[in-house]
Each structure stands twice: as structure tokens, then as C-alpha cells.
A and B are shown apart, each in its own frame.
Chain A
């Protein structure tokens, strides 16, 4: 059974870099049928798609975050990661990692989510 587990600091200072990792179990991140992504949720912005990556390293980002976001994949560890530099309070949210069946489809499976607070 697929499990997606987010990990990383729950508190990040303004202007620093938010870094999260998603560990995948129950499936290989190199499975050619799936894409892997990040979504965040906050009271003010609702659910917001951040970006998606394929096991080959091809990545796709939300236009609103494209200039700031980097998603990478480590097939040897069956993990993928999110980096968001220069964070502000507006980046405070619950961050979910997820699996998508197609590049052009919404999320099929979600991690449990991790709250990241941006505060000094």
C-alpha cells in the first residue's frame, strides 16, 4: 500500500529556505506510470498546487511559484524534495506530497501533510 511521508522543519525564519522531503513506500518512485508532486493548503489561499516531477527529473511548476520553487527527485532513496527560498509569512501552510497518475491530472494519493510555519 502506498505511503507518502513528508519530513522537514516545522518552523522556518523569514527569508530562509523551506526544505521538505517526501519518502515514498509501497511503490517505486521510478514507476513510469506516475508523477510526484507538492501541494500546500492555508486558510487564506486554500489548496494550491506547487509543482510536479517525473522520475527522470522533468519538473513542472505552478506559474505563480515557478521563479522560486525547485523540486528534485532521488530515485536511489525513493524520495523527492521541495525547496522554496526567500519565504515569507504567506508561505505558512500545510504542505502535502502527492502522487498523480498523469501529468495532466489532479492528485490521486496524498501524504498526511506537514505544517510549516514561517516566523522569526
Chain B
């Protein structure tokens, strides 16, 4: 069982806005930055969001991150078929070091 909790699946239609949640605790999300990763089958994860809400260069502004207390969210607006992938959150944990969420499989209907 992963330290950070994500819904196993999410879905939306093209053009919609979808949000994926990530729930943690005061020892991880509550006191450290949250990262979000996108992963396509057979490939390595790629950073979508770092430091809660920062996007690396090349990541579309359709992707946004937020954090409140011990939870974080990834929002994808203007959903596209190419956004269909697995999404993971991650954070530093005081007792366990880097911890990950279990991943959310996003389906574009």
C-alpha cells in the first residue's frame, strides 16, 4: 500500500477539466513539496509538476498543481486524447524519505 493515496482511475471527455487528488499526512505533503509525474506504458515517468505548482519547460499550461494542508491535486484542463496515461504524486517524507502515490490511470473517453 502506497504512503500517498490517489484514486486508481479517473476519466473525462476531450475538452473537459479533470482533477486527480493525492492525500498524505503531516510528515510528507504537509511539510514538503509535491511532485507530479506522467507515465505512458513502457516508458519512464516524466515530471509534470514540481514544487507543488511549477511546470518544467515544455509542459503545457493545461497542467496545473496545487497543495493545501496534507493534500495535493493535479488539474488537467482542455483534456486531450494524448493525456491518457498514468499519473503519480510524490513527496519527501520525514520518516520514509521519498514516497509515491499508487498512481491514477486517466482514461480519455
The verdict on B20 contacting chain A, using a C-beta distance below 8 Å, is no
Report how far A106 CA is from B99 CA in the complex, Å: 8
Q: Is the CB of B103 within 8 A of A107?
A: no
Q: For the complex formed, measure the closest distance between the CB of B1 and the CB atoms of chain A, giving whole angstroms.
A: 9
Residues of A close to B63: CB separation below 8 A: none
Contacts A105-B32, A106-B100, A113-B43 supplied; 5 other A-B pairs, CB < 8 Å: A49-B99, A49-B100, A106-B98, A109-B47, A112-B44
The verdict on A47 contacting chain B, using a C-beta distance below 8 Å, is yes
Bitwise, A108-120 to B at CB < 8 A (1) or not (0) is 1111110000000
Residues of A close to B90: CB separation below 8 A: 47, 106-107
The interface of chain B, by Cβ under 8 A from chain A, is 2, 32-33, 35, 37, 43-47, 50, 88, 90-92, 95-100, 102-103
Does more than half of chain B's interface fall in helix, strand or loop, or is it mixed?
Answer: strand
Within 8 A of B (CB), among A32-91: 37, 39, 46-49, 52, 60, 62-63
Interface size class of A (residues with CB under 8 A): 20 to 34
Q: Is the CB of A105 within 8 A of B92?
A: yes
Known contacts: A63-B96, A106-B35. The answer to whether A46 contacts B102 by CB under 8 A is yes
